[in-house]
Amino acid sequence: MNSVLGMGNALVDVMTKLDGDKTLRDFKLPKGSMQLVNKEFSNRILASTLGLKKHQSSGGSAANTIHGLAHLGMKTGFIGKIGHDNLGRFFEQDMKQNGIKPVLFHDLEETGRSIALVTPDSERTFATFLGASIALQEEDISSDIFTGFQHFHVEGYLVQNKKLIRKALRLAKSNGLIVSFDMASYNVVAENVEFIEGIIKEYVDVVFANEHEAEVFTAKKSKEAFRELSKHCEIAVMKMGMNGSLVRRGNEEHEVGIVEVNTIDTTGAGDLYAAGFIYGLCKDLPIDRCGHVGAICSAYVTEVIGAKMDAGRWEIIRQKIMEVISA
C-alpha cells in the first residue's frame, strides 16, 4: 500500500466567522495577512470572539496535505509536537479519527493554534501562536519513524530549525523515501534562500511553490522562475491560483488548468493541491495527470470554510480522480 509521512507544525485551526472588520481593526491585524502572535495576544482574540461561530480542526500546512492523502485512501503518518492540553488531545484524536498515524512528541508549552478570522468578503486573516509546535527538535527524530513509508512530505515553515529539517531529510533519503518539500511562504523563502537551495539539491525530489515563492527563490519572474526552480529538483510544481499550475520533470513541461467551483475560502488550497499531486505520483500517473488530480483537490476545498472537507465532497473528488486515472 502506498504510504506518505508528513512533518510540520502541529497546529489547531480555529476558523472564526466575523460579522465585519472591527475585530481586525481592534487588534491591528492587516486584512489577509498571517501574523505570528504570542500566547497572550492569541488568548485575547479568543476571548473577544467568544460568541461567534467557530470550527476547530487539526491544521498546519503538512498536516492538511496528509489529511487529504488519508481521505484519498493512502496510508499516512504525521510527525509534530503538541502540548499536554485539550488542544493537544484534540489534535491527536483528530489525526486518529482520520486514519493518520500520529508520531507526536510533547512539550510543556501549550499546543500551537492558528486563529483564522474570516470576514464577510471571504478574506482570511491569520493570527498564529506556534506554541509547542516549534519545540520539535532533531533529537526527537529517529530512523525507525520512517520505516514502512515510501514518501516524506515537509512544509517550509520548519526551515527555521535547520538541524531538525536536515536530519529528517537525511534519514528519509537513507530509508529510501521520495521527498517532497512545500516552500510554504515567500517570506520564509526570502530569509532562507541559501539553506533551502542546499537541501533541495541534496535531498528533495519534488518541490511545490507558488509564483511568489518561486520568484523570491530564483530572483527571476514567473515562467523563468519556474524553469530555474526546476533545475534544482526532479519534479517542480508552481501553483498560480486562478491561472492553474505548471509542472515540470526534466524537459517535460505541462500547463494544468483549474477546476471551476463555487469558491468561498482559499484556505488549504495549496496544501490540498500537494495532496492530490503526491497521490498521483504514488499511483505512477504521468506528471500532467498528477497536476490534474492536484487541481481537483485544491478546487473543492475552496468551497468550504477552512482546510477540511465533508464526506460528500470527498466522494465527488474520488470520482473525478478515477475519471483522470482512466482517461
- Cβ-Cβ contacts under 8 Å for 321 (sequence gap 6 or more): 72, 276, 279, 293, 296
Name the pLDDT band for 307 (thresholds 50, 70, 90).
confident
Do 118 and 46 meet the contact criterion of CB atoms below 8 Å apart? no
Q: Of the given ranges (77-86, 113-122, 169-178, 278-287), which has the lowest mean pLDDT?
A: 113-122
Domain boundary assignment for the chain = 3-9+60-111+131-326
What count of other Cβ atoms lies within 10 Å of the Cβ of residue 97? 10
Q: For residue 82, what is the enclosing H or E element?
A: strand 75-83
Dump the DSSP string for 130-169: -GGGGG--GGG--GGGGTT-SEEEEEGGGGGSHHHHHHHH
Write down the residue that cell numbers 494544468 correspond to: 256
Do 111 and 91 meet the contact criterion of CB atoms below 8 Å apart? yes
Name the pLDDT band for 124 (thresholds 50, 70, 90).
confident
Name the pLDDT band for 296 (thresholds 50, 70, 90).
very high
Dump the DSSP string for 224-287: HHHHHHHTTSSEEEEE-GGG-EEEEETTEEEEE-PPP---S--TTHHHHHHHHHHHHHHTT--H
pLDDT score of 55? 86
Summarize the confidence of residues 165-180 as an average pLDDT.
98
Amino acid at 100: I
When the pLDDT of each residue in the chain is averaged and rounded to a whole number, the result is 95
Do 72 and 279 meet the contact criterion of CB atoms below 8 Å apart? yes
pLDDT score of 70? 97
Reduced to 3 states, what is the DSSP secondary structure of residue 43?
A: helix
Report the Cα–Cα distance between both ends of the chain, in Å, rounded.
23
Q: Is the pLDDT of residue 243 over 70?
A: yes
pLDDT score of 122? 76
Do 147 and 127 meet the contact criterion of CB atoms below 8 Å apart? no
pLDDT score of 286? 97
Write down the residue that cell numbers 497521490 correspond to: 279
Summarize the confidence of residues 214-238 as an average pLDDT.
96
In 13-146, which ranges are continuous DSSP H helix?
Answer: 22-26, 39-48, 61-71, 86-97
pTM for this model (two decimals): 0.93
**Under CATH, domain 3-9+60-111+131-326 is a member of which superfamily?**
Ribokinase (3.40.1190.20)
Half-sphere exposure of 125 (CA within 13 A, CB side): 20
Name the pLDDT band for 225 (thresholds 50, 70, 90).
very high
Report the alpha-carbon distance of residue 29 to residue 23 in Å, rounded.
8
Report the alpha-carbon distance of residue 30 to residue 123 in Å, rounded.
11
pLDDT score of 264? 80
Name the pLDDT band for 1 (thresholds 50, 70, 90).
low
Report the alpha-carbon distance of residue 35 to residue 127 in Å, rounded.
5
Amino acid at 68: G
Q: Is the pLDDT of residue 111 over 70?
A: yes
**Dihedral over Cα of 311, 312, 317, 319: its sign:** positive
Interior angle at CA 91, CA 165 and CA 205, nearest 5: 30
